[in-house]
Amino acid sequence: MLRFLTAGESHGPGLCVIVEGLPAGLPLEAEAIDHQLRRRQVGHGSGRRMQIETDRVEILSGVRHGLTLGSPVAMRIANRDFERWRRVMDPAPPVGPLPTGGDWRLRPVTRPRPGHADLAGALKYDFDDVRNVLERASARETAARVAAGAVARRLLESLGISLVGHVVAIGPVRANPLSGGAGVDWHSLASQAEASPVRCGDPLAAEAMMRAIDEARARGDTLGGVLEVVALGVMPGLGSYVHWDRRLDGRLAMALMSIPGVKGVEIGDGFWAATQPGSSVHDPIAYGDVPADQWAADARRRGFWRPSNRSGGLEGGVTTGQPVVVRAAMKPLSTLMQPLGTVDLRTREPTEAAVERSDVCAVPRAVVVAEAMVAWVLAEAVVDKFGGDTLEDLAGAVEAYRRRLARTRGPT
């Protein structure tokens, strides 16, 4: 079983993540993780915090001379901003009362922001200072998830599975529809998206998205959007229809929905499919030469395949061997420079919500978080299905499965 835990507050000393259940012998270097951490930090619409941080991972355990040992991999990412917040966020008890004047950071936050976890968290944990909530509710935590996802990605890559992600919409601006159908060149779409400041592979839409973000910033407002993640080279048979919590569609939905700000998840044609008759939604089954973007069991690449991929590579909670296509809808960020009305926790008087330094739109950065979560769920499913204490055992089990599919489902 593969699992991970994260810890850390946004302005505390740093974030930690422990990844447990990896096979021994997986090549893993900090640079591969740092690459994903850097990607998570860039995107038009980011606030000033991303200029302060330079996220780098320190691997504390579970890896020796670049190879995993099978023991838990513990990693730490420092918060550079902690230097400014040391007095506010110091885990040690203060010596004497904290001064309340002067540094604004020391003042309790008592005006909960609608849309963030502020009020719900303060009620739940009985806090008078919303800082105790927002520090952990902050999406700063997603840096730790990206580190765990980068490890998962390494495992998947060693089995020929890769992931790409891109922005489909920001606010009302949508990219030219590119998803769903088979035959999309995902790698070139992703490299175009990667070169775009909003991580969108459609250059015209990307321009309009940047304008929309700039306009929202000028108005003191924020924007959400839709992102898409595609996993390529996924073998059929991951997940299962036999029990609700083994369905891979459900596990992917939970992983994506858990990203702060995500309010909707689609698999394949998702909500659009609900508006169409079955005859134009399901993917007919073919047999013969399998296109390169789909998984084929035998060396000659003959087998079952689909000319379309409206299912997003999942039927009955099980992968079909087609690209896995998932989308997440992110709401606009809750911290507004032109704040909404709220009520002060202490006085109960109506007032305006607290204003903190904030991103204007985080959808381009959330793409990297979503890739990490999808990588994690797929790696979990791979480890569940194929097991193995070493990478060699795991790869051997995948190879045996491939041979079994070729033997029993290959050319007749």
Ligand X SMILES: Cc1cc2nc3c(=O)[nH]c(=O)nc-3n(C[C@H](O)[C@H](O)[C@H](O)COP(=O)(O)O)c2cc1C
Ligand Y SMILES: C=C(O[C@@H]1CC(C(=O)O)=C[C@@H](OP(=O)(O)O)[C@H]1O)C(=O)O
Alpha-carbon distance of 15 to 296, in angstroms, equals: 40
> Binding-site residue total for ligand Y (CB under 6 A)?
14
Transcribe 7-41 into DSSP letters: E--TTSSEEEEEEE-PPBT-B--HHHHHHHHHHHH
Please state the closest distance from residue 39 (CB atom) to ligand X, in A. 11
Contact flag: residue 359 with ligand X (CB under 6 A): yes
Of the candidates 33, 63, 137, 394, which one interacts with ligand X according to CB under 6 A?
Answer: 137
Span near ligand Y by CB under 6 A; candidates 168-176, 278-286, 322-330, 351-359: 351-359
Alpha-carbon distance of 257 to 272, in angstroms, equals: 19
Please name which of 64, 62, 232, 73 lies closest in space to residue 157, comparing C-alpha atoms.
232
> Exposure string (b/e) for 245-254, b if CB count within 10 Å is 16 or more?
eebbbebbbe
Contact flag: residue 148 with ligand Y (CB under 6 A): no
Contact flag: residue 367 with ligand X (CB under 6 A): no
Of the candidates 311, 358, 373, 380, which one interacts with ligand X according to CB under 6 A?
Answer: 358
Contact characters 189-228, ligand X, x per CB under 6 A: ----------------------------------------
Please name which of 192, 210, 223, 243 lies closest in space to residue 362, comparing C-alpha atoms.
223
Backbone angles phi, psi at 286, to 5 degrees: -125, 165
Annotated ligand binding at 137? The verdict is yes
Span near ligand Y by CB under 6 A; candidates 103-111, 296-304, 350-358, 391-399: 350-358
Please name which of 279, 276, 245, 235 lies closest in space to residue 378, comparing C-alpha atoms.
235
Please name which of 55, 57, 58 lies closest in space to residue 46, comparing C-alpha atoms.
55
By CB atoms closer than 10 A (0-12, 13-18, 19+), residue 45 is buried
| Residue 23 vs 43, nearer CB to ligand X | 43
Contact characters 238-267, ligand Y, x per CB under 6 A: ----------------------x-------
Span near ligand Y by CB under 6 A; candidates 202-210, 226-234, 273-281, 355-363: 355-363
Contact flag: residue 356 with ligand Y (CB under 6 A): yes
Please name which of 322, 293, 290, 309 lies closest in space to residue 190, comparing C-alpha atoms.
293
| Residue 118 vs 249, nearer CB to ligand X | 118
Q: Are 163 and 156 in contact (CB under 8 A)?
A: yes
Question: How many Cβ atoms sit within 10 Å of the Cβ of residue 149?
Answer: 31
Contact partner at residue 173 from ligand X, ligand Y, none, CB < 5 to 8 Å by partner kind: none
Contact partner at residue 10 from ligand Y, ligand X, none, CB < 5 to 8 Å by partner kind: ligand Y
**Residue whose entry in the numeric block shows the structure tokens 């003959």:** 302
Backbone angles phi, psi at 200, to 5 degrees: -120, 130
Annotated ligand binding at 334? The verdict is yes
Annotated ligand binding at 10? The verdict is no
| Residue 206 vs 336, nearer CB to ligand X | 336
**Cross-strand pairs, 225:** 170, 330
Span near ligand Y by CB under 6 A; candidates 94-102, 132-140, 154-162, 224-232: 132-140
Contact flag: residue 375 with ligand X (CB under 6 A): no
Binding-site annotation: residue ranges for FMN? 136-138, 316, 331-335, 357
Binding-site annotation: residue ranges? 40, 136-138, 316, 331-335, 357
- State the residues that interact with ligand Y by CB under 6 A: 10, 47, 49, 53, 138-140, 142-143, 260, 356-359
- State the residues that interact with ligand X by CB under 6 A: 47, 115-117, 137-139, 142, 259-261, 333-335, 358-359, 362, 365-366, 369
